[in-house]
């Protein structure tokens, strides 16, 4: 079996094509004119095709050479990427990161972060867990993730505030509460079904967000909660940024509750094992802060105070 064409020979071939001649390519590669000629001749023998044609002082690709030039471009790019990956690994660059993101976190902030991280990730794989209620807390406490965006910072952990979320109590426009003018008392709500977003696991923060409605249905995600609301069933606590279009169209109606001020809570970025966070994790952390309206210098550091412990009741 004939010897394969080496990466170095493909690099020589590309340099000659890029510069349109042997002289310029030789200066770039620090090789003699004869060494380049020999490399191309060897390639053509191995491949059994003519790659280049000499026209005066210039060279041009043959039809076969054009096909192989296009195909080999990706080969050289892969080789360079492999080299960069090897260097990154030798510098402690992580091969994989895991990120828990509470469903309250604005999707636009997350996608802007991911868009910025991808071209700089150096092949680092990213696992994203969409979590609510106790799942984020458990992931932090059990150190199952490298980073977490949460509305509840568990005891013994520190975090940096990233964004503030406004929660509204909403119903569908067909619900009888939507036709009530003025403010509604908490007692009025107790007679209606409350839709609560939770998970099938232990809830560390308890039921502090529950408005004590006599009837309560628990669903696993935001989509299920919205589906219930759109059937005219009950009321639910939802973040304003995720239902802006529903509010603007009038499909969902925000209720005004007597003696209840506007409810807001901060989402916080927590690094469970700060001392073990490598360069890729540090980059992702900084991009989350940057794309959430905070930066490393100005992000407020917080620890568990109980202010957000109630999270949201649905």
Distances (CA, A) of 289 to 68, 158, 161, 269, 273: 45, 15, 8, 8, 18
Average pLDDT, the chain: 82
Task: Give the residue numbers spanning the domain of 56.
Answer: 7-90
Residue 297 has pLDDT above 80, yes or no: no
Same domain, 158 and 274: yes
pLDDT digits (tens, 9 = 90+) for 98-150: 999 988 899 889 999 999 999 999 888 999 998 876 788 888 988 899 999 99
Domain shared by 153 and 282, yes or no? yes
Q: Which of 41, 56, 90 is the last residue of a domain?
A: 90
| Same domain flag for 164 and 281 | yes
DSSP 175: S
Residue ranges of alpha helices (H) inside 98-185 are 107-117, 134-141
Does 247 reside within a domain?
Answer: yes
- pLDDT > 70 in the chain, percent: 83
User: Which domain-ending residue is among 90, 106, 124?
Assistant: 90
Where do the H-state alpha helices sit in 151-302? 186-190, 222-230, 244-249, 279-291
85 and 136 housed in the same domain: no
Which domain-ending residue is among 26, 60, 90? 90
Unique residue bearing structure tokens 């964004």? 163
Residue 54 within a domain: yes
pLDDT reported for residue 57: 74
263: pLDDT strictly greater than 60: yes
Residues 56 and 117 in one domain: no
CA 179/CA 184 separation, integer angstroms: 11
pLDDT the model gives residue 186: 80
For 19, 28, 199, the CA distances from 23, given in Å and listed in that order, are 8, 9, 68
| 102 & 246 share domain | yes
98 shares a domain with 74: no
- Per-residue pLDDT, averaged over 243-270, amounts to 87
In-domain check, residue 2: no
Instruction: Assess whether pLDDT exceeds 90 at residue 285.
Output: yes
**Mean pLDDT lowest for which of 157-166, 264-273, 298-307?**
298-307
Q: How confident is the model at residue 87 (pLDDT cuts 50, 70, 90)?
A: low
51 near 61, Cβ under 8 Å? Answer: yes
Do 109 and 163 have their domain in common?
yes
Same domain, 143 and 190: yes
Q: Are residues 68 and 110 in the same domain?
A: no
> Are 214 and 188 in contact, with CB atoms under 8 Å apart?
no
Model confidence at 151: pLDDT above 90: no
Q: Using one digit for the tens of pLDDT, what is the confidence trace for 19-72?
A: 888 888 888 888 998 898 899 999 999 999 999 988 877 888 999 999 999 999
Q: In this predicted structure, what is the pLDDT of residue 296?
A: 42
Q: Residues 182-240: pLDDT tens digits?
A: 788 888 888 899 998 875 333 344 444 445 666 888 887 888 999 999 999 999 989 99
Q: Are residues 58 and 124 in the same domain?
A: no
């Amino acid at each position: 079996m004939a010897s394969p064409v080496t990466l170095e020979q493909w690099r020589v071939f590309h340099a000659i094509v890029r510069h349109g001649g042997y002289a310029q390519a030789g200066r770039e590669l620090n090789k003699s004119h004869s060494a380049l000629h020999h490399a191309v001749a060897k390639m053509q023998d191995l491949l059994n095709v003519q790659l280049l044609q000499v026209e005066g002082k210039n060279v041009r690709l043959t039809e076969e050479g054009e096909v192989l030039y296009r195909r080999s471009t990706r080969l050289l790019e892969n080789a360079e990427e492999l080299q960069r990956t090897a260097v990154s690994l030798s510098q402690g660059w992580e091969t994989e990161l895991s990120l828990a993101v509470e469903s309250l976190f604005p999707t636009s902030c997350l996608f802007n972060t991911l868009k910025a991280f991808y071209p700089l990730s150096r092949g680092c794989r990213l696992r994203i867990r969409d979590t609510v209620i106790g799942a984020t807390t458990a992931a932090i406490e059990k150190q199952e993730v490298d980073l977490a965006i949460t509305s509840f910072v568990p005891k013994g952990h520190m975090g940096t505030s990233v964004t503030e979320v406004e929660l509204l109590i909403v119903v569908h426009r067909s619900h009888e509460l939507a036709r009530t003018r003025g403010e509604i008392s908490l007692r009025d709500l107790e007679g209606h079904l409350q839709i609560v977003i939770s998970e099938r696991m232990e809830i560390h923060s308890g039921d502090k967000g529950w408005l004590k409605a006599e009837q309560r249905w628990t669903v696993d995600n935001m989509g299920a909660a919205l589906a219930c609301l759109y059937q005219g069933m009950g009321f639910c606590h939802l973040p304003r940024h995720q239902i802006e279009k529903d509010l603007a169209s009038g499909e969902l109606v925000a209720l005004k509750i007597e003696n209840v001020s506007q409810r807001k809570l901060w989402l916080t970025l927590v690094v469970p094992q700060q001392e073990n966070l490598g360069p890729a994790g540090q980059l992702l952390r900084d991009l989350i802060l940057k794309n959430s309206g905070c930066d490393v210098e100005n992000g407020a550091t917080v620890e568990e105070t109980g202010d957000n412990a109630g999270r949201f009741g649905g």
